[in-house]
Every structure is written in structure tokens, then in C-alpha cells.
């Protein structure tokens, strides 16, 4: 944003500079791809654990006792 200069009635000058920066918006496409692939990897691992836990739980009820 452009600077704003405010003139006072006495002998002072105030310069105000408005600047808002968000680090997320300053990412390069390569950095964004790295972050998004890491997020997808975490989701995939969580999904695999969920499927594994469901498979273990469902196999516990179907076992027969051979004693």
C-alpha cells in the first residue's frame, strides 16, 4: 500500500506505512507443492492406519475357536 503523509499544524510530519504480509501468500509454486504433498502423505498414512485397524477389528469377531 502507498505511504500516507499527515501534515500537522505544528512542526511535525507523520508518515504511516500500511503493510500486511501473509507468509502463505509469498510461497513459490515449488514450496506450495512440497507442503501440499506432505499434507497428502499424512492423510494417506492416517487412512492406511484406519483401514488396518478396521481390518483387525473385523477379523477378531470372525475367528473360530479350535481347542
Say if CB 14 and CB 8 are below 8 A apart. Answer: yes
pLDDT in tens, 36-54: 999 999 999 999 999 999 9
Q: What is the dihedral of CA 64, 65, 66, 67, to 10 degrees?
A: 180
> Alpha-carbon distance 43 to 56, whole Å?
20
Give me the pLDDT at residue 19, please.
75
End-to-end CA distance of the chain: 79
Say if CB 19 and CB 4 are below 8 A apart. Answer: no
Q: What grid cell was written down for 64?
A: 473360530
pTM over 0.75: no
Amino acid at each position: 500500500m502507498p505511504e500516507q503523509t499527515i501534515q500537522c499544524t505544528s512542526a511535525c510530519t507523520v508518515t504511516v506505512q500500511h503493510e500486511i504480509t501473509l507468509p502463505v501468500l509469498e510461497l513459490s509454486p515449488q514450496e506450495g507443492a512440497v507442503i501440499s504433498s506432505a499434507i497428502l502423505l499424512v492423510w494417506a498414512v492416517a487412512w492406511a492406519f484406519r483401514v488396518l485397524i478396521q481390518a483387525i477389528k473385523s477379523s477378531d469377531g470372525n475367528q473360530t475357536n479350535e481347542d
